[in-house]
Amino acid sequence: MSGNINLLDDTLAAAKAEGRSALIAYLPAGFPTVDGGIAAVKAAFDGGADVVEVGLPHSDPVLDGPVIQTADDIALRGGLKIRDVMRTVREAFEATGKPVLVMTYWNPIDRYGVERFTAELAEAGGAGCILPDLPVQESALWREHADKHGLATVFVVAPSSKDERLATITAAGSGFVYAASLMGVTGTRASVGEQAQELVGRTKATTDLPVCVGLGVSNARQAAEVAGFADGVIVGSAFVQRMLDAEDEQAGLAAVRALAGELADGVRGKA
């Protein structure tokens, strides 16, 4: 079976049927190495993640805070190429049968070629892409090829998005909507706050797509809080920080698995 948008849709629907939010983990490809990055994605799934976003490291990451920038820098200095990102998706999907997305800025796809990128991602078993900096009004070419290959197109909405704009974005998207919980870059926060809850409510008024919240969630208590109003809880920097803090790769993988377990309990209200 090929991994595609149907697998993503079914996974999110299954979490909802269990009366809980989905846990979505983010990990950059190529960090600490390509093989290490693949092992980290598998560890997140082993620990209890429902979906994993594989980051495509970029030299100018406008949405990413210092923790993910550090990991991206390590990956890029290691010589990471798009083919390594595709290999990460393929091996993680083949090992787990669970939905793997790619989160990437537009420039690398544009340079690689939209048709080539979508064809290779689908062939690798990928479920779709999160495109934080692709304006929806400029997304027709991407969506045409993504639809052809059965890939989800996940757009990002922010607290600053007006209701009319939210409706435009959600009408063009598929899979789920990524709600950025606050203005600013990725990173762990002491509080995820009311802004996120209000944004989820406004977004849900425009679409039947699941709305998943990212930016700032780092522990089980916050995951439980966000799970109270969102269809999915997205965690990235906290996973990367655990790997950066680990004394070696095996300790890093164990830390990723443990954090995924804590967060999985959080989204189930067991924290």
Per DSSP, the residues of 59-77 read SS-SS--HHHHHHHHHHHH
**Residue 190: its pLDDT value, please?**
55
Backbone angles phi, psi at 253, to 5 degrees: -65, -40
**Residue 62: its pLDDT value, please?**
61
**Residue 176: its pLDDT value, please?**
98
CATH superfamily of 4-268: Aldolase class I (3.20.20.70)
**Residue 192: its pLDDT value, please?**
59
**Residue 59: its pLDDT value, please?**
75
DSSP character string of 158-196: -TT--HHHHHHHHHH--S-EEEESSSS-S---S--HHHH
What Rg, from alpha-carbon coordinates, does the chain have?
Answer: 17
Residue 179, strand partner residues: 157, 213
**Residue 185: its pLDDT value, please?**
47
Residues noted as catalytic: 53, 64
Kindly give the parts of the chain with pLDDT less than 50: 1, 183, 185
How many angstroms separate the Cα of 184 from the Cα of each of 3, 175, 225, 233, 242? 32, 24, 20, 18, 22
How many angstroms separate the Cα of 218 from the Cα of each of 148, 221, 226, 259, 268? 36, 9, 11, 9, 16
